[in-house]
Amino acid sequence: MTPPETDLIGTTANGATSPAVLSCPSLTVLTQRRDFQRAARGKRVAMSGFVLQMLRRPDGDAEGIRIGYTCSKKVGNAVARNRAKRRLREIARAVLPTEGRVGHDYVLIGRNGATAALPFSRLLDDLHKALAILHGPKK
């Protein structure tokens, strides 16, 4: 069995664009320690499966949505931490393009046992609720 033929990455053989490629080109991953430390000084909300930190960047730095993922050794060995981070990346990819705000940094922190064990739908619901709490009521 071979995969379907594609001319370009993100397009199928009939020319249609894959929805995964269009999800959100403005999601950027945080890699610098100072960005994680800045986000730690912002707002935070603890949910059952993760902790979400949010920081609004200064007005001159509105280059889309930035997201970071972290799991400490308390979460488990490398396999458990990587599984937890994969799940955090997927919920962020599903929710932040529509509910995240441009000009904000978000950091998802995995929790011991819960991030990898909770049902995926529960993690999605928790991220929706956490963003609603951090952003406040809609105006």
In single-letter form, the type of residue at position 96 comes to L
pLDDT recorded at residue 3:
57
Going by C-beta distance under 8 Å and a sequence separation of 6 or more, which residues neighbour residue 1?
Answer: none
pLDDT at 13 over 70: no
Per the CB < 8 A criterion, the answer to whether 39 and 105 are in contact is yes
pLDDT recorded at residue 21:
44
The alpha-carbon radius of gyration of the chain (Å, integer) is 17
Name the nearest CA neighbour of 120 among 81, 88, 75, 82. Answer: 88
How are beta strands 65-70 and 43-46 bridged, if at all? unpaired
Is the pTM above the cut of 0.85? no
Domains of the chain: 26-135 (3.30.230.10)
| Span 45-83, pLDDT tens digits | 999 999 999 999 886 566 789 999 999 999 999 999 999
| Span 100-122, pLDDT tens digits | 888 899 999 999 989 989 999 99
Q: Quick count: other Cβ atoms within 10 Å of Cβ 88? A: 26
